[in-house]
Amino acid sequence: MTRLVEVPAQFDDRSFDQFAGSFVAATDDGERLLFDAHAAEWASPYGLVGLLAAGQAARHGADKPLLTAPTQAEVLSYWARAGFFREAAELFEIHGRVPKVKAQDESDVLLPVTPVRAAEDVHAVVSKIQQRASAILASELGLDPKATMGFAMALSEACQNIVEHAGTGGWVAVQAYSWRRKLARRVVVIAVADAGVGFRHSLEPTQSKRFGARWGDAAALEAALIQGVSRFRDPGRGQGLAGIRRYLTRWDGKIAIRSGTARIAIVPKWDDDVPLKDGLPSFPGAQVLIIIPEQGSTKP
């Protein structure tokens, strides 16, 4: 028996909970999963790395979950250029015609979907993004050229969360695009996802007593992002997310982290997201979204 997990037609952070709900419902009896993306019309970097995390979580032994590829040629082409299928081939039994296109460093794909498993991968990602992102951040987003290095720092710290806390590998993707829905301006988006242990499990040994009955996914996210705590007792830990927050405050950016059944966000004025959601459909690991908008007026 195969259980169906529907991939939303517009697959991004907003529709991710719908996807997670479908994932939860399909996984309750341990049957093989079929991720149905045939009707997908668009996927953000967050959607793509989130789908890979789902594939990672859904694998049982030698049985890979199934994935039906999008049928629209341009969607298929974008997913290929974004490097999705290169990684998906390891995780899914893919059905449908997948174009033989290599992941490309096109102007909008600053970093194709890239696996992050170890510190060496973070070095490679940071090195690559500096070569690619500098011109786009300065010319298209109007960021001070100095901000490129801060961007690389933020990316490095986001990726290190996987290496240090997930207990498994994950993926990162970076893309620039015009965000018509919210801002009518260009944004650069960093998406990072893994299907590891998640923030609650990672912080539980050091933080659960402090929170008492409140302890859960939401409290763990609050502790990590707002209070800057880490599972390590070393006083220097917890710098990464704090540093990302500082960078985003300076450039009017947004960060949202989903882990388990909760999602926390630092919401800039131009966005109407909620700061904290709890009771969401449970999804393994952690999924991080960072958005840096084109500078200038960012009225909602």
Partner 1 sequence: MIQHIDVHAVLQESVPGGGSYADLVTRPTGRVVRERIERAIAAGDVAVARMDFTGVGCIDYSCADEIVAKLLRGRPAVLVLSGISDAHREAIEPVLAGHGLAALIEGAGGALETLGAPEAAAVLLEELVARRLAARTPGGTFALTLA
Q: According to the binding rule CB under 8 A, does residue 180 interact with partner 1?
A: no
Strand 283-293's sheet: what is its strand order? 109-116, 170-179, 185-194, 283-293, 254-260, 262-266, 276-277
Q: According to the binding rule CB under 8 A, does residue 156 interact with partner 1?
A: yes
* Cα–Cα dist 260/218, whole Å: 9
Q: According to the binding rule CB under 8 A, does residue 97 interact with partner 1?
A: no
Which CB sits closer to partner 1, 40 or 111?
111
Of 7, 14, 5, nearest in space to 181 by CA = 14
Show the tokens assigned to 271: 């966005």
* Cα–Cα dist 21/42, whole Å: 19
Q: According to the binding rule CB under 8 A, does residue 167 interact with partner 1?
A: no
Q: How many residues bind partner 1 (CB under 8 A)?
A: 25
Q: According to the binding rule CB under 8 A, does residue 122 interact with partner 1?
A: yes
Q: According to the binding rule CB under 8 A, does residue 120 interact with partner 1?
A: yes
Of 202, 283, 299, 247, nearest in space to 21 by CA = 283
Return the SS3 of 248: helix
Among 130, 134, 295, 298, binds partner 1 (CB under 8 A): 130
What binding mask, one character per residue, do residues 51-90 give for partner 1 by CB under 8 A, x or -?
----------------------------------------
Measured over the CA atoms of residue 242, residue 214, residue 50 and residue 266, the dihedral's sign is negative
Least Å distance, CB 49 to partner 1, is 20
Task: Give the footprint of partner 1 on this chain (CB under 8 A).
Answer: 119-120, 122-123, 126-127, 130, 146, 149-150, 152-153, 156-157, 160, 163-164, 235-237, 239-240, 242-243, 246
